Structure 1
């Protein structure tokens, strides 16, 4: 049985800082507007040189970046209800620093980014946009993070590691209906059945608090969601832990990228800036601040192969 305090902890999630029992999250998530711990970078001469001659920024002297504040730790509104904070705003600041520009963040609804970018409302989008072959027809990409889903279990669960389909055989797994995670798990279940193993037992619930209560009550063994979401929940509640991750594009990889207008030619400067940050370790420091080191890339690529058209 789950006590009243545990249930309230799941249902009440707003506070200025959130602590984690994991070593990587020994410091709190700071959701205050001041962000004194934000990592900053020096100007990158090579990245600045790669900015096309005559390129016109939306706001002179500033990099205007659209971000959807859809939830921590990637991007959310701070405690002042107006400042956008999180891992993506931190990365946007590092890119602006590298290009010798100020940063202007423009909060948007995630679904609005393609039209806004195509119409020139902002210079770039840094908002968990994955690279796909269809998107590459209209946009350019500079990769900056892996797209991962997470397998999380109760802190005292006997499940220690989930890396491949056989590791999940017979487990009761909470997943959202119609999601990319469900697509992958259904494929895993078929592979297990073909190999003579137990299929996955998928469970569906209407909302996140109900999912988490079901996991803690022992009605399921695992919850699967985008990795960053579960990193935040684990840091906040300290009663679930990671058992594994998988690429959001399984069986292919799925990288997240800075997105720019096709043909604007800003992409090479952004890729150079990202690789400069990786080389100086500023990049990993910024991800670590939000518990997302596991999503780090070894290098940024310009327009790599993306997920194929469905």
Structure 2
């Protein structure tokens, strides 16, 4: 039966080589089809969601459209649930995922990332007029509204805060606004989105962590031409003002760093 194993091994090797060749040629395939297929959730405002008319919109959606335009093709969005979104690359459901996918070492083992296109930082938020909290260390002995299992909650605890449990950003902000919590540590992008919609809300960021978490466009490994083209597109949309315009629309400022 050894000959059967030999044939099977040869078939697997040939399939692997064929898949690798296909992957390397994917930029040509994208341009030939005239479409960049992009995986996204469609349920994650303000990044990818449906507006009142049902149209797919959002920061990530417009970034995807701008990248596709620089490649000379159209963006075609394929929606899916987060749990299986990245795995859809393996199944060739799309060419890339643009959905606030954080760049991590674990993910980089299996996939390739573009250069970062958005940055998120932990920020300390208080009600306007609160002069007692000016930095993270001032949380000692204060209450901080947090999702108890979040990294933000851990930061608050490490700085001596007493946690008030919440279900997420919106509830945390409300507790700060109503005085039931002294502060909240939360995501800078969520805060900017909140202030974009409620500019008069009397809350403010008084401190931010230096280290940021970055997200990038994620694609299959073995597609260096496509990766280079996406990176060039990102560089170009930042240089020509497209990125700034999209960023201003959703966050009111540049969120690339």
Q: TM-score, normalised by structure 1?
A: 0.66
Against the structure 1 CA distance between its residues 158 and 209, is the aligned structure 2 distance closer, same or farther, given a 3 Å change threshold? same
Query: Is 1:73 equivalent to 2:40 in the alignment?
Result: no
Q: 1:259-296: CA deviations, max 9, x gaps?
A: 11111222111111111122222212211111153522
User: Per-residue deviation at 1:113?
Assistant: 1.4
The 1-side partners of 2:33 and 2:110 are apart by 24
The 2-side partners of 1:217 and 1:106 are apart by 41
Contact 2:145 2:183 (8 Å CA) reproduced: yes
User: Per-residue deviation at 1:219?
Assistant: 1.2
Which moved further from structure 2: 204-213 or 178-187? 204-213
Residue 205 of structure 2: which of 243, 249, 253 is its match?
A: 243
Q: Which 4+ runs in 1 deviate beyond 6 A?
A: none
Q: 1:149-189: CA deviations, max 9, x gaps?
A: 33333344436754xx32444432111121122233334x2
Structure 2 unmatched ranges of 5 or more = 1-23
The 2-side partners of 1:153 and 1:59 are apart by 52
The DSSP-based 3-state class of the residue aligned with 1:290 is helix
Aligned to 1:277: 237
Contact 1:125 1:258 (8 Å CA) reproduced: yes
Alignment of 1:214-233 (within 5 A): 214-233=175-194
Structure 1 unmatched ranges of 5 or more = 1-50, 190-198, 298-310
- Give the RMSD, CA atoms, in angstroms: 2.7
Contact 1:65 1:106 (8 Å CA) reproduced: yes
Aligned to 1:34: none
Residue 112 of structure 2: which of 137, 140, 144 is its match?
A: 140
Aligned to 2:220: 261
Against the structure 1 CA distance between its residues 53 and 210, is the aligned structure 2 distance closer, same or farther, given a 3 Å change threshold? closer
Contact 1:153 1:242 (8 Å CA) reproduced: yes
The DSSP-based 3-state class of the residue aligned with 1:289 is helix
Alignment of 1:1-310 (within 5 A): 55-57=28-30, 60-81=33-54, 83-142=55-114, 143-158=116-131, 161-162=134-135, 165-187=136-158, 189=159, 199-206=160-167, 210-237=171-198, 238-244=200-206, 246=208, 252-265=211-224, 266-291=226-251, 293-297=253-257
In the alignment of these two chains, the number of paired residues is: 231
Against the structure 1 CA distance between its residues 256 and 244, is the aligned structure 2 distance closer, same or farther, given a 3 Å change threshold? farther
Contact 2:41 2:99 (8 Å CA) reproduced: yes
Contact 1:74 1:228 (8 Å CA) reproduced: no
The 2-side partners of 1:245 and 1:121 are apart by 42
Contact 1:130 1:147 (8 Å CA) reproduced: no
Contact 1:72 1:229 (8 Å CA) reproduced: no
Using CA pairs under 8 Å that are at least 6 residues apart, name the structure with larger relative contact order, 1 or 2.
1
Against the structure 1 CA distance between its residues 215 and 111, is the aligned structure 2 distance closer, same or farther, given a 3 Å change threshold? same
